Structure 1
Amino acid sequence: MTFSSLNKQIRETKKSSINQSNYDVVIVGSGAGAMASSIVAADHGLSVLVVEKSAHYGGTSALSGGGIWIPNNDHFKAKGGEDSYQLAFDYLKASTENTVSEPRLHAYLTQAPEMIRYLENNSRVRYAVAEKYPDYYPHLEGALPGGRTLDPEIFDTKCMGSEVDNQLKASASTLLMGKIAWTARDAHKAMARERGWRFLLLKLMLRYKLDFSQRRKTKRDRRAALGSSLVASLRQSMTDRNIPLWLNTDFTDIVLNNEKVSGIEVVREGEKQIINSALGVIFASGGFEQNQKLREKYLPEPSNVKWSATPPGHNTGAALEAGIRAGAKTDIMDWCWWSPTVNVPKEDKARGIFAERAFPGAIVVDGLGKRFVNEAAPYLEFGDAMYRNNAATGGKSLPAWVIFDANFRFNYAMGPFMPAQIQPDSRLPKGWLNTLYWKAENLNDLAKQIQIDPEGLSQTVERINRFAKTGVDEDFGRGGNVFDRYYGDTNVKPNPCIAPVAKGPFYAMRIEAGDIGTKGGLLTNEHAQVLSDTNTPIAGLYAIGNCSASVMGRSYPGAGATLGPAMTFGYIAANHIAKGRANGNQTIL
């Protein structure tokens, strides 16, 4: 008896003692891609169930910026922006370096604008274009200096009742001062210190403070923003359609009948249960970054779940492993959506360091005290550079260190630090000193505290201070392109991303080679169908988001290049399943 037939026999035996329920479509996971696909499937008249492992819905999507990278979108065109399928295709071909099949690229570029158009016309989801947010690789053919990233509008959660407090994931790191909702456009204006940024912050704080009815109940802002806004609007759209969402439901395996996926096995309320799916199962359950064994099996060394900025205990790769057991093909398993992270004491997960790396007056060095990358580079490339430099230096850049001075500390945020003009050192938790950050009156003492080469650090700072005067980073080109300058301080001349590191006291913060999810997973085709080792679809099985191999390959073309594909291929999967039903539930290749 073969392994697969034995597995099938075991599953058949289990059925007699396990509760069962029946739906047309079953979706594993409750992030943005999962919710979007559930809405589209329900609008086709299909019965849909969404199952979620945790007690909260939204997954990593709810903790993200919520942006989606949608080339050739309607919002940009409505403001006079110029984009086209061909420009976007040229850009994606260049950024993915021909590692992704053209049918998948074509499916994304044609269906992404349709997806968001559909959701905005038929659900509560609302977006606005981030006109100034550039593509991440401005040097590549087809790149644009803005217009392809869409930013979620603020969503008033009052309509959701108590559910929003009890079940929607939220992250203080995406809120102004840890509690006030703001859009990514607001954040950019404040971080780049554009004209009117102080008035903007005052307006946001007053809006929050003057919401007296909400303040009497909770410190949580009634308005959801960024990823929480996206998830809240999708969840309410599910509620409008009476789409069931089962929380605390742990996926354990798929059910196969006659080589077709016909359902899933879960554990719910302590009992095993089979959920039958007449038309298809959609995996939308995230990657495997929270599974240390899988990290050690597939990712570069060293690797640690504690460095990930995703929710601990979830995204453990259960869907990935189930797909592999069913004979699925995988791809890009050695990559994450890399991002440098810091571990804040008493927080349950690491925090990503994103925009702060572009602010002038901070540098990142390795154990030799040397810079090894353009600090303002996209976070995927930054994380990759950490690993490359670590290999080249014999383990000297894991961890790395961000170094800044008193001027930077006063003016800019860094990780959990608000600028000292808002949050002086005296208001920082005492437990953070010498665990999250280190502080000294001179660079030599700081280097000794964090055990890096003092001479190397001194030389590096002397060199960057010279670059601050000329405005030209002769080593890594920091501030030399439109992407770098997006979060640079517009008031700093001649380069908004470079300022001297000169005024004591000096600070250091330890950063790790973290991630916002794994990049590799089950290989799918242009319909989001999971492919077998023979490159044929596994009937009834679809995968979207981080449990599938990214359509972006090993690249990160622009802000929202994770959620954009997750939602788009969720839209594609739901439409494909509905088309299959219309064709007598035959597998469409």
Structure 2
Amino acid sequence: MSNKPDSRGSEGPNVDVIIVGSGAGALMAAVRAADLGLKPLVVEKAALIGGTSAISGGGIWIPCNDDQAQAGVRDTLEDAFRYVRTCAKGLASDDRILAYVETARLMARYLGSIGVPYRCMPLYADYYPSLPGARPGGRTMDPADFDAASLGLEGLTQMRPGNPGQALFGRINLNSFDAHTILSQGPGSVSVVLKNILRYATDLRWRLKTSKDRRMTGGQALVAGLLRAARQRQIPIWVDSPLQSLLTQEGRVAGAVIRHSGQDVRVVAKRGVVLAAGGFERSQDMREQYLPKPTDARWTATPPDGNTGDAIRAGAAVGGALHIMDLSWGVPTVNVPGEEKFRGVFVERSLPGCLVVNALGQRFVDESGPYPEFQQAMIANHQATGGAIPAWIVFDGRFRARYPMGPLLPTSLMPDRKVPQAWWDSVVWTAPTLEALATRIGVDPQGLRNSADRMAAFARTGKDEDFDRGGNVFDRYYGDVTVKPNPNLAPLSQAPFYAMQLWPGDIGTKGGLLTDRDARVLDAQGVVIPGLYCVGNNSASVMGPAYPGAGSTLGPAMTFAYRAASHLAGQPLPLERLDLLAG
């Protein structure tokens, strides 16, 4: 057996499979492998378990899922395949796309069987509703709420905490249904807020133990459920244990060198290694090498203690091919003092009474559109004008009173006098007029005035003639249902006026090791590297350059982990609809 570049190290345990990483894809691979009779070992670089999955919304994009029928959603495998194939634009193989759309529902069914149930979101549209095969809702699934007591305080302390932006006051957890009702000002929105506050405040027995909400939602619910399943199966998880390199024997990956308890440990894996350690967005060197410029690791919304591309480089060192390395899962982000990472602005952009401009004061994107396209538009406009990084999201006093924006809560919960002093002129800027605000933030005043006047005209007619904001079902999902005729459009007319900087951030990179339909890593000639598997953002995305719907990262990560575990156990999952490949 040889180890490149270093064959030294003490001997560790012999296992069937090593899984590198501890996010949703990694934990799914471990639990499924154990259920198929294998002995897995999970190794995690960071001190906490969960990776980016733990701070995510937890959604998974699952076409033809079991929950659609009761929600009145009709879906077909043919349409799902056609939709993803169109989105991927030739950057993912057809058989890999088919493997995903066929297996995703089986994986979701398995999640329910191990105590991590999901339910579909009937009104959450695919991100590109005009493409053939798209659906106006039902493919995105949200995890059921998870009772933290069933994991226990010890388990909670091992988990990476969630995003403060996904909780009321940074503490009271909301699921996606709650968040949608509140943001869209739908019926019962006030009662949803009050109900959650009351639930948290009256759970005294639990709060005497911890300030963390007993009700876990989103990515916290997903990771907690998978971690509970792993603990039930007594799967060992090594934290503070980064991958150093892969071990090879006669052309096969047969283990790994892991830095554990301060020393390099050689761990032999009889069946193989699954790389599931995320992308490279936290490596400035790799960003400079692969991503469009300008690029900065500080802009990302992922944890700062991981996702530096170690596992991608390790796979490449044993011959793995790299693919679509210039792409990322983009999202605009804001910098909040005192937070460990930039905060993603996912949905607030959809609400009426705001607009986004460059330094010329000009709009350049549908503010309510999918966040990857928003980030790509920022980069493209900056390359054309030099003024879109940062861009500025501008909103008026009415917006400020009714809606959140990044870390700012509505004035009923966070009036200006309670905004932390450090945030003024660093997170948020304000002025009594649009022209004065433009001068403060370095934006052309006349350009901003012209953009605001056009927005006011669009709000009256309900038609955005520049970018068609609110012109499709996806845009309208997070619009304000009380605003007519377009729930995404309102004038900026009520003083004072506010602005926040937006940066072209991300929730991970898309490029990585090229894999086949069973998550096996391929070399530059398309030949399988025996014993090496790769899932999640470690691998090149099956979605190509696109983001077909909410959950397009976690859905494939866990689906290909499910397929990888089956292959490792000698039970590969066949493709059933080969007729679709012939088309």
TM-score range normalised by the length of the shorter chain: over 0.9
C-alpha distance in structure 2 between counterparts of 1:392 and 1:11, whole Å: 46
Q: Which of these residues, 204, 225, 231, is aligned with residue 233 of structure 1?
A: 225
Moved more, 73-82 or 466-475: 73-82
Superposed displacement of residue 313, structure 1? 2.5
C-alpha distance in structure 2 between counterparts of 1:367 and 1:415, whole Å: 21
C-alpha distance in structure 2 between counterparts of 1:8 and 1:166, whole Å: 35
The answer as to whether partners of 1:11 and 1:255 remain within 8 angstroms in 2 is: no
Match of 1:341 in 2: 333
Alignment CA distance shift 1:9-1:180 (3 Å): closer
C-alpha distance in structure 2 between counterparts of 1:401 and 1:258, whole Å: 55
Post-superposition Cα deviations, 1:197-224, rounded to whole Å, max 9, x if no partner, equal 1111111111110000122233210121
Asked if residue 434 in structure 1 is aligned to residue 457 in structure 2, the reply is: no
Q: Which of these residues, 384, 396, 415, is aligned with residue 387 of structure 2?
A: 396
Match of 1:90 in 2: 82
SS at structure 2 position matched to 1:33? helix
The answer as to whether partners of 1:286 and 1:547 remain within 8 angstroms in 2 is: yes
C-alpha distance in structure 1 between counterparts of 2:364 and 2:48, whole Å: 39
The answer as to whether partners of 1:154 and 1:182 remain within 8 angstroms in 2 is: no
The answer as to whether partners of 2:5 and 2:245 remain within 8 angstroms in 1 is: no
C-alpha distance in structure 2 between counterparts of 1:566 and 1:8, whole Å: 27
Could you tell me which amino acid in structure 2 is paired with residue 253 of structure 1? S
Asked if residue 487 in structure 1 is aligned to residue 505 in structure 2, the reply is: no
Superposed displacement of residue 355, structure 1? 0.7
Match of 1:156 in 2: 147
Match of 2:261 in 1: 269
C-alpha distance in structure 1 between counterparts of 2:186 and 2:5, whole Å: 63
Asked if residue 302 in structure 1 is aligned to residue 294 in structure 2, the reply is: yes
CA RMSD of aligned residues (A): 1.4
The answer as to whether partners of 1:266 and 1:272 remain within 8 angstroms in 2 is: yes
Could you tell me which amino acid in structure 2 is paired with residue 37 of structure 1? A
Query: How many residue pairs get matched?
Result: 572
Q: Where do residues 16-27 of structure 1 align in structure 2 (5 Å cutoff)? A: 17-27=9-19
C-alpha distance in structure 1 between counterparts of 2:207 and 2:98, whole Å: 48
Match of 2:452 in 1: 461
Post-superposition Cα deviations, 1:437-460, rounded to whole Å, max 9, x if no partner, equal 111111111111111111111111
C-alpha distance in structure 1 between counterparts of 2:500 and 2:89, whole Å: 35
Q: Which of these residues, 443, 450, 460, is aligned with residue 452 of structure 1?
A: 443
Q: Where do residues 76-225 of structure 1 align in structure 2 (5 Å cutoff)? A: 76-121=68-113, 123-170=114-161, 171-225=163-217
TM-score for both structures, normalised by structure 1: 0.95
Q: Which of these residues, 64, 67, 86, is aligned with residue 72 of structure 1?
A: 64
C-alpha distance in structure 2 between counterparts of 1:281 and 1:233, whole Å: 23
C-alpha distance in structure 1 between counterparts of 2:416 and 2:3, whole Å: 61
SS at structure 1 position matched to 2:247? strand
SS at structure 2 position matched to 1:21? coil
Could you tell me which amino acid in structure 2 is paired with residue 544 of structure 1? V
Could you tell me which amino acid in structure 2 is paired with residue 571 of structure 1? Y
C-alpha distance in structure 2 between counterparts of 1:485 and 1:164, whole Å: 39
Asked if residue 328 in structure 1 is aligned to residue 320 in structure 2, the reply is: yes
SS at structure 1 position matched to 2:208? helix
The answer as to whether partners of 1:105 and 1:551 remain within 8 angstroms in 2 is: yes
Post-superposition Cα deviations, 1:25-77, rounded to whole Å, max 9, x if no partner, equal 11000000111111110001100111111111010000000000000000112
Post-superposition Cα deviations, 1:529-562, rounded to whole Å, max 9, x if no partner, equal 0001111011100000001000000000000000
Could you tell me which amino acid in structure 2 is paired with residue 408 of structure 1? F
Q: Which of these residues, 371, 380, 393, is aligned with residue 379 of structure 1?
A: 371
The answer as to whether partners of 1:138 and 1:481 remain within 8 angstroms in 2 is: yes
Q: Which of these residues, 26, 31, 35, is aligned with residue 27 of structure 2?
A: 35
Superposed displacement of residue 370, structure 1? 0.3
SS at structure 1 position matched to 2:336? coil
SS at structure 2 position matched to 1:193? coil
Post-superposition Cα deviations, 1:108-165, rounded to whole Å, max 9, x if no partner, equal 01110011112212x1101111111000000001111000000011100112222244
Superposed displacement of residue 524, structure 1? 0.2
C-alpha distance in structure 1 between counterparts of 2:156 and 2:110, whole Å: 28
C-alpha distance in structure 1 between counterparts of 2:371 and 2:3, whole Å: 43
Q: Which of these residues, 210, 232, 236, is aligned with residue 244 of structure 1?
A: 236
The answer as to whether partners of 2:354 and 2:394 remain within 8 angstroms in 1 is: yes
C-alpha distance in structure 2 between counterparts of 1:396 and 1:293, whole Å: 24
The answer as to whether partners of 2:519 and 2:560 remain within 8 angstroms in 1 is: yes
Asked if residue 471 in structure 1 is aligned to residue 471 in structure 2, the reply is: no
Could you tell me which amino acid in structure 2 is paired with residue 129 of structure 1? C
Match of 1:587 in 2: none
Superposed displacement of residue 80, structure 1? 3.0
Could you tell me which amino acid in structure 2 is paired with residue 251 of structure 1? L
C-alpha distance in structure 1 between counterparts of 2:127 and 2:144, whole Å: 22
C-alpha distance in structure 2 between counterparts of 1:99 and 1:160, whole Å: 40
C-alpha distance in structure 2 between counterparts of 1:483 and 1:318, whole Å: 36
The answer as to whether partners of 2:143 and 2:222 remain within 8 angstroms in 1 is: yes
Identity of aligned residues (%): 47
SS at structure 1 position matched to 2:298? helix
C-alpha distance in structure 2 between counterparts of 1:282 and 1:185, whole Å: 34
The answer as to whether partners of 1:310 and 1:349 remain within 8 angstroms in 2 is: yes
The answer as to whether partners of 1:279 and 1:581 remain within 8 angstroms in 2 is: no
Asked if residue 256 in structure 1 is aligned to residue 232 in structure 2, the reply is: no
C-alpha distance in structure 1 between counterparts of 2:254 and 2:137, whole Å: 44
Alignment CA distance shift 1:178-1:164 (3 Å): farther
C-alpha distance in structure 2 between counterparts of 1:581 and 1:218, whole Å: 44
SS at structure 1 position matched to 2:337? coil
Post-superposition Cα deviations, 1:364-422, rounded to whole Å, max 9, x if no partner, equal 000100000000010010001011111111x1101100000100000001001111111
C-alpha distance in structure 2 between counterparts of 1:135 and 1:581, whole Å: 30
SS at structure 2 position matched to 1:217? coil
Superposed displacement of residue 78, structure 1? 3.1
Q: Which of these residues, 565, 577, 581, is aligned with residue 568 of structure 2?
A: 577
Match of 2:579 in 1: none
SS at structure 1 position matched to 2:14? strand
SS at structure 2 position matched to 1:61? helix
Post-superposition Cα deviations, 1:501-533, rounded to whole Å, max 9, x if no partner, equal 011111010000000000000000011000011
Could you tell me which amino acid in structure 1 is paired with residue 460 of structure 2? K
SS at structure 2 position matched to 1:75? coil
C-alpha distance in structure 2 between counterparts of 1:41 and 1:305, whole Å: 34
Post-superposition Cα deviations, 1:304-352, rounded to whole Å, max 9, x if no partner, equal 1110000012100000001111111111100100000001011110000
SS at structure 2 position matched to 1:516? strand
C-alpha distance in structure 1 between counterparts of 2:503 and 2:5, whole Å: 43
SS at structure 2 position matched to 1:579? coil
TM-score for both structures, normalised by structure 2: 0.96
Could you tell me which amino acid in structure 2 is paired with residue 496 of structure 1? P
Superposed displacement of residue 176, structure 1? 2.2
Asked if residue 368 in structure 1 is aligned to residue 373 in structure 2, the reply is: no
Q: Which of these residues, 549, 556, 559, is aligned with residue 558 of structure 1?
A: 549
Could you tell me which amino acid in structure 2 is paired with residue 475 of structure 1? D
Post-superposition Cα deviations, 1:472-526, rounded to whole Å, max 9, x if no partner, equal 1010000000000000000000100000101111101000000000000000001
Could you tell me which amino acid in structure 1 is paired with residue 398 of structure 2? N
Alignment CA distance shift 1:501-1:273 (3 Å): same
C-alpha distance in structure 2 between counterparts of 1:166 and 1:499, whole Å: 44
The answer as to whether partners of 2:127 and 2:550 remain within 8 angstroms in 1 is: yes
